[in-house]
Every structure is written in C-alpha cells, then in structure tokens.
Structure 1
Amino acid sequence: MKIVIVADHAHVNGGQAKVSIESAKGLALLGHDVVYFAAVGPVDPGLAAAHVKTVVLDQPDVTSAGSLTRFGVQWLWNVAAARKLAEVLDACDPRQTIVHVHAWAKALSPSIGPVLKRTKVPRVFTMHEYYLACPNGGFYDYPVARPCLRRPMSLACVTHNCDSRNYARKLMRVGRHELLKTGMLDSLSDVITISRLQREILQPYLPAGVRYHDIANPIDVAPMGQKPEAPLRDFVFVGRLSAEKGAKIFAEAARRAGRQAIFVGDGPAADELKALYPKARILGWKSPAEVKQLMRAARALVFPSVWYEGQPLTVLESLGLGTPVIVSDVCAGREAVQDGVNGLWFKSADPDSLAGALQRLSDDDTARQMSRAAYDLYWTKPLTLERHLDALVALYRAVLGETPQPAAAFDASHQSP
C-alpha cells in the first residue's frame, strides 16, 4: 500500500506527533510506501532512515508564531497546505492508497477538509483530541479549571469564554470551527478512537454513518521484570505543570497526606507551586530514559488530570514499568487502572480524595502488591508498536475493500485486542 500520513509536525513535540512519526517509520519498515505530510519542521531524522518520503511546508504553528494576528490567517485557512496536499493526493492511485490524518489543528487548519472530501483516496482519522467536536479541542473550561458541559457551538458555548487566554481568541476558535463544515466533517468515514471515554464524548457530534475503530496508541516501554525489593520512593507526577493537568491538586493532596510531591516537568503553574508548596520538588523536564527511571523507582505515579484526556501515555508507561497509578476518575487513564488492584481512582479535583489514595499507597505492602499487579496486567497484553501496526494495516486493507471491516472493542484494561 501507499500511505499518506498527515500531521501538523514532522518532529516529536508531544504524544500526538510521536505516534504519527513512529507509525510512519514502522509502516515503512514493513515495506509500505509511506509519505509523511506536515506543516512544521524540522524533520525527525528517523523518517529518512526508515525511507519515509517527507513533504514539509516549513510553516510555524500556533505556539511558535511570533504574532497570532499574522498567524491567524494560516490558523483559520492554510491555503498553502491545502494546495500542496491536493498535489500529493492527486498523484496517488486511490485503489492502493490510504490517507491517514493525525493532526491538523495547530498548523494545517480546516483548509485540508475540502481536499480530503474531494479526493478519491480513502481516508482514516485518528482522534488524539476533540477539535472536530469542540472549538477549544478539549471540552475544558480553562478560566474555571474544570470540564465544560456546554454543547459545542450552542449559544451557551459561543457566549462563554472557555479559552486559556481571552474571549477574542475563543471567538476565533468559534469561527474556525464553523469552517469545519466546508469539508472536514464531511470527509469523515473511518475514525480511530483511542479510548472508550473519547468515543463516548465525540460520537454525538460527528456525522452519522462514521465507522469507529478502537486502536490504542503504542506505548514506548520495555519489559524489565518485576521491581526488585528495594526501598520505595515518593509519589511522582510526570507532565506539564498546568491547571488542566491537576498539578496543584497533587501538591495540596501531598501536603494533607504528609508526603512529598515530586514533579517531573515544567509549565505555567511551576512558580505558583514553588511559592505555595516549598516542600515539593520540581525537577523540570528530563530525558525519556530519565523519566522512565524516575517512574520505575516511584511508589506510584499520580495522574490528577481534570480534563477528558483520551489516552494518557504516561499512565500506561508507568504500569508497564511496574509502578501503580493513582488516577483521576474523569480522564481515560482510569480505563487502564483497576481500582484497588494495579492502582487507585480518586475523585477528580478533590485533594482530600487524592490524599486518601496517597495514604493508602504509603503502606509498603499495599504498594508492592499493586506494583506486581501493574506489571503483570500490562504485560499480559502490552500495547506494543507491532500490535499497533498490525491493527492499522488490517484497518487500511478493510477500508480499501481488500478484507472485511475488522471488529474491535476496548477491553477492561484499555488494551485493544
């Protein structure tokens, strides 16, 4: 097959780009003809090493643009991206080609929608977030730091400022969301969701007739065996220090439980955390290898996110390392955690509930028992790249009409068959 992968970024700057790039490399190494189409460089060197062809426009994205006013034209309607993607797809044989869209909201814009609608090349979308349903991409109300229950694009939605910056930016998001109707939504036929929660939230807002496929993202973790009987360390948070990630909730819960909070990462909440919780340790960003070492040594990973995260990769990495997870009950990370077995759930945004979970796992015997369960349950059906690629290839062949549509559903541990 020929596979055209469409994404905002050609380098790893987060979980979304990592999945699209790793799958591109893996598909190419399986012998498929892979083209990686992106707006933002630089190009990950691994793509060339795997013989993936790249088409990169060397444009900015919404986070790197010097001026949102100037960047706004590209953000609303990226003419250059639409024109170039049309050229790429027009040169493809639709009988043997799949176009797989991973990301468009940070740089490519809704302009690629009419191109996707017009092409005869079959289309697959992976939903890493919620931009096709919600103007701000997360069903999250940033000013009040909690999930938003308003219906997207309703009067209540449009007149409410949920943006992380200001209402003017929210109105730009509303305008851009309207542009999805020019082709992006109509181009949806086969959609990959990465958790049950994500599908439940998205499905009411996507077109009727969309075929949904459950393919969890691959997890970058190697089997290391059960943890040695070494002294257990403190509780660890890994990720961006921000309100939606629940960093402050963890710090407050640790204070109430009499435990030290360890933060691996950085972000806008860092200064406030340092001021309010001087006993907390903020280590900053670490390399992937260092992060794994810290998670492996931890008593438990704390994942207090207060928004509807679709598939938190850190949660699954931690379980694969044999470290139990204390997870907010509002995010999809709960699907990988059997409460009381390989970790604990706590009530979202409730420091007392989280403090109780920290106290429970402060018992060494309990922590070690959950550690063993975390490792064994994860490695019964690990989310390897190989399994991910097998599922993608099966779906592509079904979409091309070569095989029947595959039937799949998430099991209780969030690990697809």
Structure 2
Amino acid sequence: MRILHVNKFLYRRGGAEGYLLDLAALQRDAGHAVEFFGMDHPENLPMRYSRHFPAHVEYEPTPAAVSARLALAGRMLWCRSAQRGMAAVVDDFAPDVIHFHNIYHHLSPSVIRAATASGATLVMTLHDYKLVCPTYRFLDQGAICTACVHGGLRQAPLRRCKDGSLAASALAAFEVGAHRLAGAYASLDALVCPSRFLHGQLTAAGIHRDRLVHVDNFTSVDVPQRAGAGEGIVYAGRLSPEKGIDVLIRALARLPDARLDIAGDGSSRAALVDLADAAAPGRIRFHGRLDTDRLRLLLAGARVSVLPARWLENQPLAVLESFAAGVPVVASALGGIPELIEPGPCGALVPPQDPAALAAALGDYLADPDRARVHGHAARARVLAQHAPAAHLRAITALYGDIRATRSPAAVETPA
C-alpha cells in the first residue's frame, strides 16, 4: 500500500509524533510506501514533500497585535495553504491510505477536505480529547473537567477554562463547534482511540460513534532490559503542570535516600529545578530531552518509573516504554492509565496530587528489590502480549483493509 501520514509536527516532539514515526517505520519495513505531510518546522526530519508544507507558526505565546491574532484564528479554523499543499502531495503520491494524527490549529481540518476526493481510505488516530474538549486535555485552569462531554461546548466560555480568558475560551469552543457544523471530520472512515477511556468519552458526547475504533498503542520491545532490580526512580515525559512533576518532587522529599532522574523538557522546567533544589537538594537530575537510545538506557537502569499525572492521560507511551524495559510503574489513577497498570502485577496506582501516597508507593519498590524484579517481569510480559509492534501493525493494516473492502465494488450488493 501507499500510505501518507499527516501530522502538524514531523519530529520526535512528543507521544503523538513518536507513535506516527514508529508506525511509519514498521510500515516501511513491511514493504509499504510511506510519506508524510505536515507544517514546515526547523526541527522536522528530512521530508520528500517539505516544499508543499504550510509555513511554520506558533500559537504560544499569543501575539499582542490584534491583526496577528486574527490571522492565527483564521488559520486555526481553515488553513488554505495547508489545503493546497495537501492537495499537491495527494496528487503526486496517490496514496491508498491517508492516516491523520494531530492536525488541529497548525494544519486544520482543511487537510481532510483536500484528501476527500482522492478515493483513499481516511483514518485518524486521536491522541488527545480535542474533538470533545476545546482545550484538548479535559482541564479547566488546571483542574480536571469533562463538562463539555454532557453539557456541550458552551461550557468552555461559561467556565473560562482556557487560561481564565472568556475570549480564548470562546474561540476554542467556536473552533470545535464550527468544524462540527461544517462536517470537517465527516469523510473520515475511522477514528482510532488508543484507550477505552477516550472511546467512552467520545461515545458519551455522541461524537462519530459509528466510526470509533479502539486499538491499543504499541512500543518497541527490542530495547535494553533491566539487569537485576535496578536503582532509583525515573520520570520521562513533558515538563508541564498537568504532568504533576511538582507532586513527584515533594514525594521524593519524603524519601531521604531516594534519587530521581527526570528526562524531558517543557514550560515548567525552570520552576521545577528551583523546587528540586529546595525540596531534595542534590538528589534530582534533569537530563533534558534525550534521544531514544539514551532514554532506553536510563529506563533500563531504574528500579521504578513514575507518572504522577494530574490530568486524564489517554494511553501514555511512557508507561509502555517502561514496561518494555522490565520496569514497573507507579502512576496516578486517572484516565486511561488504569487500563495499563494492574495494581500488584506490574505497578501501582495512587490518587493524583497526593505526595504522601506517591512516596509510599515508590518507597515500597525502593525497599524491596525482589518485588521490583517480579513486577518488572510481569510488566514486560504485558507489553509482549498486548502492545507489541507486530500485533499493532496487524491491527492497523487490518483496519485499513476492512475499510477498503467495504468500498470495493464487489462489496456493494447489487439489487435483485
């Protein structure tokens, strides 16, 4: 098959980008022809069709000039340059399948419109909650909120959930509402939900119920394995408020001999470094963003991994990557996380924003190497059974095939 992946960023920026690049590599290894469409960005990997990408733009921080704000709002609603570029790539590459990922804001659903007439199978993997939550993350100024699921998009401006701003919240709600009214996602054949939690939220909101498909995420299993019980605690991921790293640092302060390695970067890094210096001086190392090989080595040396989220995670790759290394995970009991972590066999679930509970769960592993070793083996067994690359590739390929089969003339019943 000829497969075109579409995402606003085309470098390993976060979980969504890691997923699409790894899936594309699997597909190429299986003999498929794979190409990409996205936004022009200085960190993008070399791409065949980069000359057709729309210009690089950033939405944070919001520009002060009204004219610049209006231009950004217009692009967010419908990006004509993305539509033209996408049409050119589709015309030249002639894909059998177009697989969309995170296209919001920087590309907009205009890229779906450009693909609709191609006759290709159109699939979109949902990496967040944008189709039902204007702020993506089910957060209202840092607090968990799912009001828009049952209360509709008007809840966003009523609650001013986007940065406490009526204007920003109204614009975010208008964007989602306008795309719904325009049927911007109507031509998609399937929307893939990595977690049952996400599937359930979209179903409850009545969003494309007939086309939702649950397919678990995957991670590489050909990675360095932990030798023995490992040492210390590792957090790998974005450094931003919803990830709860401040809670983790306060938990570490309750474990006098524990050491923590933090891999990743983000808007909260400076504040977290200051907090670490005050709460646990000399016991926390900030590594910044690590390449894949260095991150895998860091995980393989850990006794336990941690995800102290204060938001509703979808199906975090950080958990799967730790499991693949044979490392148990302590994480918040939120969103799709409980689908991955069975308390006891491969990790522990704790209440969010509770440093004492988090410290107790981490302390149990630090104090008991045998427990960490046994749970690590169980964690890896879970990945091998349910989240291995080969199984995921089969599931996605089967999804493509099922859609293509229902579209074929032979599948259409001829009237008697």
- TM bucket normalised to smaller: 0.7 to 0.9
Which position in structure 2 is the counterpart of 1:284? 287
Which position in structure 1 is the counterpart of 2:72? 71
Which position in structure 1 is the counterpart of 2:145? 148
The 8 Å contact of residues 218 and 320 in structure 2, kept in 1 or not, is answered as no
User: 1:171–1:80: structure 2 CA closer, same or farther, 3 Å change rule?
Assistant: same
User: 1:85–1:177: structure 2 CA closer, same or farther, 3 Å change rule?
Assistant: same
| SS of match in other structure, 1:134 | coil
Measured after TM superposition, the shift of residue 157 of structure 1 is 2.4
The 8 Å contact of residues 347 and 353 in structure 1, kept in 2 or not, is answered as yes
User: 1:394–1:235: structure 2 CA closer, same or farther, 3 Å change rule?
Assistant: same
> How many aligned residue pairs are there?
392
Measured after TM superposition, the shift of residue 318 of structure 1 is 0.6
Which position in structure 1 is the counterpart of 2:248? 250
The 8 Å contact of residues 114 and 184 in structure 1, kept in 2 or not, is answered as yes
| SS of match in other structure, 1:8 | coil
1-structure distance, mates of 2:319, 2:236: 9
Measured after TM superposition, the shift of residue 208 of structure 1 is 4.8
Trace 1:385-396 onto structure 2 (pairs within 5 A): 386-396=390-400
Equivalent residue for 2:372, pick from 367, 375, 380: 367
Q: How much is the aligned-residue C-alpha RMSD, in angstroms?
A: 2.9
Q: Which moved more, 1:208-217 or 1:355-364?
A: 208-217
Which position in structure 1 is the counterpart of 2:358? 354
Q: Which moved more, 1:71-80 or 1:302-311?
A: 71-80
Which position in structure 1 is the counterpart of 2:56? 60
Which position in structure 2 is the counterpart of 1:413? none
CA deviation digits over 1:264-320, x for unaligned, max 9? 223333333333332251423133222222211112111011212212111111111
2-structure distance, mates of 1:272, 1:44: 31
| Identical-pair percentage | 26
Which position in structure 1 is the counterpart of 2:82? 81
Measured after TM superposition, the shift of residue 55 of structure 1 is 6.5
Question: TM-score under structure 1 normalisation?
Answer: 0.84
The 8 Å contact of residues 224 and 325 in structure 2, kept in 1 or not, is answered as yes
The 8 Å contact of residues 256 and 352 in structure 1, kept in 2 or not, is answered as yes
Q: Which amino acid aligns with 1:400?
A: R
User: 1:383–1:2: structure 2 CA closer, same or farther, 3 Å change rule?
Assistant: same
Question: TM-score under structure 2 normalisation?
Answer: 0.84
The 8 Å contact of residues 261 and 285 in structure 2, kept in 1 or not, is answered as yes
Trace 1:110-149 onto structure 2 (pairs within 5 A): 110-115=109-114, 120-141=119-140, 143=141, 145-149=142-146
Is 1:241 the counterpart of 2:223? The answer is no
The 8 Å contact of residues 54 and 85 in structure 2, kept in 1 or not, is answered as no
Q: Which moved more, 1:183-192 or 1:124-133?
A: 183-192
The 8 Å contact of residues 247 and 304 in structure 1, kept in 2 or not, is answered as yes
Q: Which moved more, 1:188-197 or 1:242-251?
A: 188-197
2-structure distance, mates of 1:58, 1:112: 11
| SS of match in other structure, 2:239 | coil
2-structure distance, mates of 1:190, 1:29: 24
CA deviation digits over 1:219-271, x for unaligned, max 9? 1342545x3336x4222211222210010111112223434443222333333
Is 1:297 the counterpart of 2:296? The answer is no
Which position in structure 1 is the counterpart of 2:213? 213
Structure 1: 5+ residue runs without aligned partners?
405-417
Structure 2: 5+ residue runs without aligned partners?
409-416
Equivalent residue for 2:313, pick from 309, 315, 320: 309
